[in-house]
Amino acid sequence: MIREFSATRVLGVVLLLSLISVAAVPAWFRSRIVAGENGTVGDLIIIARAQEAYRRTYPHIGYARDLSHLSVTREGRNCVPSPSRACFISYHLAHSRPIGWNGYYFEMAASPDSFTVVATPKSFGDTGERSFCITEENIPRSDESVRPRTPESVSRAECLKFLPLR
């Protein structure tokens, strides 16, 4: 015997699926933001370690002046380490503008004896809700003020005011 679906049953199924999607979609977006933020903190640690390796490899220079000095070539093959291209981090991480990496932009300010790397969300509230930074102390820090920032607006002194992540 073939049973037909009544309009009431179909409406009930549609309503149930709507309720499930209303509950699941915000959780999915939130998990995507958390994953991007966690990846960003990992990238900051990678950059800090690359800076330390650069300083040990080229002690007469100190820390690399910008992220491109730490990266591989665009193709990623046959990278010959030098002070202007040390081959420690990916090209895309070093050149995160204008497309972003894990939903974040990365900027670095450095001198021979210190550096500050700042990561800010590409689209605040969409790809991330916090800014992050790290210095030569190798302690990732988070801005808990939940306000949009630009990488240029975060100085070393400002970074040191952020909450340390452990």
Residues 34-73 have pLDDT tens digits of 888 889 999 999 999 999 999 999 999 999 998 889 988 7
Q: Is the pTM of this model over 0.85?
A: no
Judged against a pLDDT cut of 80, whether residue 25 lies above it is answered with no
Task: Look at residue 50 and give its three-state secondary structure.
Answer: helix
* Residue (of 151, 111, 115, 148) closest to 134 by Cα position: 115
Mean per-residue pLDDT, 15-36: 74
The strand order across the sheet containing 114-121 reads 104-111, 114-121, 131-135, 141-143, 163-164
- Four-residue CA torsion sign, 124, 127, 131, 136: negative
Lowest mean pLDDT among 16-20, 67-71, 85-89: 16-20
